[in-house]
Amino acid sequence: MAFDVTLIRGDGTGPELMEAARRVLEATGVKFNWDVQDAGVDVMEKYGTPLPDSVLESIRRTHVAYKAPITTPIGTGFRSVNVAIRKEFDQYINIRPSKSYPGVRSRYQNIDLILLRENTEDLYAGIEFEMGKPETVELISWIRGKQPKAKMYDDSGISIKPISVTGTRRFAKFGFEYARKHKRKKVTAIAKANIMKYTDGLYYQVVREVAKDYPEIQYEEMLVDNMCMQLVQKPELYDVLMLPNLYGDILSDLCAGLVGGLGVGPGANIGDNSAMFEAVHGSAPKYKGQNKVNPTALILAGMMMLDYLGEVDAARRLEKAVADVIAEGKSVTYDMKADRNDPTAVGTKEMADAIIAKLKK
């Protein structure tokens, strides 16, 4: 059996990273039918958009996308390829693992966190009203009428924060099912319900109800500001973190910082009928064509894709091969060396070759 997968090569260093990652995934022995697609700033002149219709049509057919980094165009009004794909396919879960690998420089050890971020609601829904516009003034007047003591001003911009029972329930159910499947012992729901009582309060209420169906999993709630401190002081106490959209975006980078940065950070966006797997770092266009950038994050995203496709054994073998190469410290890129000018650092292609050699053993 071969899996149909939309392979999006990205821009900047994306194509060379994807070529390395593709070779590694094929070395696991799993068969793929790659539908190769291009997206990003490099195709804007040809298609007039960084996300051609052919990419979306491909994902509709395959239901699975493997995506290299893509630059978000500045000043075009296009928010990002990532956001567009998430919205088009209602990929309401963002999964960001943060795991310690011996050999990666970090102040912390033995961290194994899974951060789950709700992808569709909260302030990231983008429901905003510009300062001085008639509709903004009208909204301010309405709020004043409803809350006479509210201090609202005509020189305000306004953003609306929707949190729904429906959106939160499906997010929470996925989170607990994920924890159960991967034998995780604790889920921590994170929000700021002491201040935002009707939105974050609703979030807690719904997650709490879902948690009752999973008695074998320890459940706790944490305020987001306290959670930031806890993660810095004692991250080893936490397991699965579940957050609304904005908090999830912020804390996912915090967690990545605990284990060495975005260079080892994979990500996945999951919906009921589709999934997209990616490295969460940028496209680093200044290094384009230099065979220099670390492929670990994109390769580990491929490991997550294998797990999603049910190829659990291949996923574990791949992760072990990556971990072994990093631990040895010989065939790694410059950013993984104690001295970034270390002449023994290898390139993107050569690190992929070393991982493939481990897989063959």
H-type helices in the chain, by residue range?
14-27, 44-47, 53-62, 81-88, 134-146, 165-181, 200-211, 224-233, 245-258, 296-308, 312-328, 348-360
Tell me which long-range contacts 321-328 makes (C-beta under 8 A, separation of at least 24): 321/355, 321/356, 321/358, 321/359, 322/101, 322/296, 322/355, 323/101, 323/102, 324/358, 325/351, 325/354, 325/355, 325/358, 326/101, 326/102, 326/103, 326/104, 326/296, 327/101, 327/102, 327/103, 328/103
Tell me which of 67, 192, 292, 358 is the catalytic residue.
Answer: 192
- pLDDT reported for residue 75: 54
The structural domains of the chain, with segments of one domain joined by +, span 1-101+262-361, 107-112+163-258, 122-162
- pLDDT reported for residue 73: 63
- pLDDT reported for residue 317: 98
Instruction: Give the DSSP letter string of 171-198.
Output: HHHHHHHHHHHTT--EEEEEE-TTTSTT
Catalytic residue status for 225: yes
What CATH code would you report for 1-101+262-361?
3.40.718.10
- pLDDT reported for residue 249: 94
Catalytic residue status for 124: yes
Cα separation, 40 vs 244, whole angstroms: 28
Tell me which of 35, 38, 42, 249 is the catalytic residue.
Answer: 249
What is the C-alpha R_g of the chain?
Answer: 21
- pLDDT reported for residue 79: 61
- For the entire predicted model, the pTM comes to 0.92
Place of tokens 């990419």: 55
- pLDDT reported for residue 134: 79
Tell me which of 4, 213, 225, 313 is the catalytic residue.
Answer: 225
- pLDDT reported for residue 141: 79
Q: Which CATH number fits domain 107-112+163-258: 3.40.50.720, 1.25.50.10, 3.40.50.2300, 3.40.50.300?
A: 3.40.50.2300
Tell me which of 66, 92, 101, 124 is the catalytic residue.
Answer: 124
In the predicted model, residues of the chain with pLDDT beneath 50 are none
